[in-house]
């Protein structure tokens, strides 16, 4: 009896395997080198099967745009000015490709909002009526998603679902009430693997209507991302087909080009981590522990605030941390996946910055 069951099992397994084999073969034989792969014009289509193809690395085309100019600004994430029209705060964004310097002598081809990586910070107060006019000067379509902001469905920026893609040369207007208060971001939702990897992201901060009882003296937003550069060309930093990132940036800069944050001894410091790449980053602070005061924009009640010295920020997540700078000196803040603190495999670099505490 046992032998019969054993034989039956073997035969069943053989049948299952033979049924699976042709499927696996046909998958492996996907006509990836044919013109219908969607990659011939440098624009991967959402349906392309690159993830399954070991030759994807060869097929990846660099991020390009005609007549890319060097960026005229050097700092990303700066506050975006607005004008007021009938009680509405009106912001203007233009998507465009620029050559963006992440490090002395290292320049990426970036897709940007208003020519910087990250794009400019939109900062408003909870309940504000906000209008954002987006002009697309990229060679590809795009949309903007307001990550974590509670917008009406039609403003959610998902191409083919809530809106048509904004074609090159076209303009689209987003309008919504800013809510709730917290740390959010905006980013492309069109071929995000390419466009977000190429720099189409920026912070979106909504301040509470009731001002903070104990506001921080220093309030910095740090957007974390990755890049893939080969022979001076920029690729989407995606973890597939052997494509691994080799540069890592905080607010569009790799150490030692990252900003040094200067604070006075005794200052309450708030850092808002936003991970917008495709990797997790355990961010570690030297010197003093911190409290996690908000997660994904939402305040953590004081009794539930964890005291830590490392917080892992996964793609899409935000963590607001606060600490009091108690000792003077140069205190390092860095990702603890130590490959992420290199520039093209050379240490130190990448996701590091200094917090300089002065008297
Ligand atoms: Cu990291």
* pLDDT(240) > 80: no
d(CA 284, ligand 1 centre) in Å: 10
d(CA 46, ligand 1 centre) in Å: 27
For the segment 251-277, what is each residue's pLDDT rounded down to a tens digit?
999 999 999 999 999 999 999 999 999
Shared domain check, 188 and 233: no
Asked, for residue 33, whether it belongs to a domain, the answer is: no
- The pTM of the full predicted model, rounded to 2 decimals, is 0.83
Region 293-314: mean pLDDT is 97
d(CA 177, ligand 1 centre) in Å: 34
d(CA 180, ligand 1 centre) in Å: 29
Picking from 207, 233, 255, the residue at the C-terminal end of a domain is 207
Q: What is the dihedral of CA 71, 332, 339, 349, to 10 degrees?
A: 40
- pLDDT band at residue 165 using 50, 70 and 90 as cut-offs: very high
Shared domain check, 236 and 163: no
What pLDDT does residue 294 have?
98
Asked, for residue 16, whether it belongs to a domain, the answer is: no
d(CA 237, ligand 1 centre) in Å: 13
d(CA 229, ligand 1 centre) in Å: 17
Region 213-217: mean pLDDT is 92
Q: The domain that contains 342 carries what CATH number?
A: 2.60.40.420
Shared domain check, 148 and 107: yes
Shared domain check, 240 and 349: yes
Domain that includes residue 354, residue range: 218-358
Shared domain check, 354 and 225: yes
Reported as type and span, the H/E element at residue 160 is none
Shared domain check, 190 and 233: no
Region 210-226: mean pLDDT is 95
Number of folded domains that form the chain: 2
- pLDDT band at residue 35 using 50, 70 and 90 as cut-offs: very low
Q: What is the dihedral of CA 143, 144, 149, 152, to 10 degrees?
A: -30
d(CA 313, ligand 1 centre) in Å: 9
d(CA 231, ligand 1 centre) in Å: 23
Shared domain check, 278 and 299: yes
d(CA 352, ligand 1 centre) in Å: 10
What pLDDT does residue 199 have?
97
What pLDDT does residue 242 have?
55
In percent, the amount of the chain with pLDDT more than 70 equals 81
Region 332-352: mean pLDDT is 97
Is residue 29 within 8 A of residue 54, CB to CB? The reply is no
Alpha-carbon radius of gyration of the chain: 23
Shared domain check, 294 and 189: no
Rounded CA gap, 251 and 49, in Å? 32
Shared domain check, 256 and 233: yes
For the segment 6-19, what is each residue's pLDDT rounded down to a tens digit?
444 444 444 444 44
The Cβ-side half-sphere exposure at 270, using a 13 Å CA radius, reads 18
Cα-to-chain-centroid distance, residue 71 = 19
| Token pair 């290199």: residue | 342
Shared domain check, 75 and 202: yes
d(CA 283, ligand 1 centre) in Å: 7
Least confident of 55-64, 259-268, 282-291, 329-338: 55-64
Asked, for residue 247, whether it belongs to a domain, the answer is: yes
What pLDDT does residue 33 have?
34
Asked, for residue 17, whether it belongs to a domain, the answer is: no
* pLDDT(42) > 50: no
d(CA 196, ligand 1 centre) in Å: 17
Taken in order 141, 175, 147, 94, the sign of the CA dihedral is positive
* pLDDT(41) > 60: no
d(CA 351, ligand 1 centre) in Å: 7
In percent, the amount of the chain with pLDDT more than 90 equals 74
Asked, for residue 21, whether it belongs to a domain, the answer is: no
Rounded CA gap, 145 and 3, in Å? 60
Shared domain check, 353 and 222: yes
Shared domain check, 269 and 222: yes
What pLDDT does residue 25 have?
34
| Per-residue CA distances from 314 to 19, 37, 295 (Å) | 39, 31, 12
Picking from 153, 177, 207, the residue at the C-terminal end of a domain is 207
What pLDDT does residue 328 have?
97
d(CA 135, ligand 1 centre) in Å: 33
The pocket of ion ligand 1, defined by CB under 5 A, consists of: 281, 335, 337, 340
d(CA 182, ligand 1 centre) in Å: 23
Rounded CA gap, 117 and 223, in Å? 9
d(CA 253, ligand 1 centre) in Å: 14
- pLDDT band at residue 51 using 50, 70 and 90 as cut-offs: very low
Picking from 183, 207, 231, the residue at the C-terminal end of a domain is 207
Asked, for residue 168, whether it belongs to a domain, the answer is: yes
d(CA 258, ligand 1 centre) in Å: 15
- pLDDT band at residue 105 using 50, 70 and 90 as cut-offs: very high
**Average pLDDT value for the chain:** 86
Region 124-143: mean pLDDT is 98
What pLDDT does residue 238 have?
60
d(CA 282, ligand 1 centre) in Å: 6
d(CA 334, ligand 1 centre) in Å: 8
Cα-to-chain-centroid distance, residue 70 = 22
d(CA 333, ligand 1 centre) in Å: 12
Asked, for residue 23, whether it belongs to a domain, the answer is: no
Asked, for residue 192, whether it belongs to a domain, the answer is: yes
Helix/strand/coil for 347: coil
* pLDDT(30) > 60: no
What pLDDT does residue 232 have?
82
What pLDDT does residue 263 have?
97
């Amino acid at each position: 009896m046992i032998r019969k069951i054993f034989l039956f099992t073997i035969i069943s397994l053989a049948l299952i395997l033979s049924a699976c084999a042709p499927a696996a073969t046909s998958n492996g034989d996907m006509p990836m080198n044919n013109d219908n792969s969607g990659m011939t014009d440098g624009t991967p289509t959402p349906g392309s099967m690159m993830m399954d193809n070991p030759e994807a690395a060869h097929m990846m085309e660099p991020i390009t745009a005609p007549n890319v100019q060097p960026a005229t600004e050097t700092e990303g994430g700066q506050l975006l000015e607005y004008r007021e029209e009938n009680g509405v705060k009106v912001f203007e964004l233009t998507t465009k490709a620029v050559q963006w310097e992440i490090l002395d002598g290292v320049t990426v081809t970036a897709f940007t909002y208003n020519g910087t990586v990250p794009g400019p910070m939109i900062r408003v107060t909870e309940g504000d009526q906000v209008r954002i006019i987006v002009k697309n000067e990229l060679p590809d379509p795009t949309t903007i998603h307001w990550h974590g902001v509670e917008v009406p469905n039609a403003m959610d920026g998902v191409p083919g679902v809530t809106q048509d893609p904004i074609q090159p040369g076209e303009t689209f207007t987003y309008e919504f009430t800013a809510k709730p208060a917290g740390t959010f971001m905006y980013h492309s939702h069109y071929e995000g693997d390419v466009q977000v990897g190429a720099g189409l992201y920026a912070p979106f901060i909504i301040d509470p209507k009731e001002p903070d009882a104990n506001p921080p003296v220093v309030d910095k937003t740090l957007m974390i991302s990755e890049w893939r550069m080969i022979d001076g060309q920029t690729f989407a930093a995606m973890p597939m087909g052997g494509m691994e990132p080799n540069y890592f940036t905080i607010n569009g800069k790799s150490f030692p080009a990252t900003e040094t944050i200067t604070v006075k001894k005794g200052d309450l410091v708030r850092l808002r981590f936003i991970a917008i790449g495709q990797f997790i980053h355990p961010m570690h602070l030297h010197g003093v522990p911190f409290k996690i005061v908000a997660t994904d924009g939402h305040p953590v009640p004081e009794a539930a605030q964890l005291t830590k010295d490392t917080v892992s920020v996964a793609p899409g997540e935000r963590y607001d941390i606060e600490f009091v700078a108690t000792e003077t000196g140069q205190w390092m803040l860095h990702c603890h996946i130590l490959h992420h603190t290199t520039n093209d495999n050379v240490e130190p670099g990448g996701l590091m910055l200094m917090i300089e505490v002065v008297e």
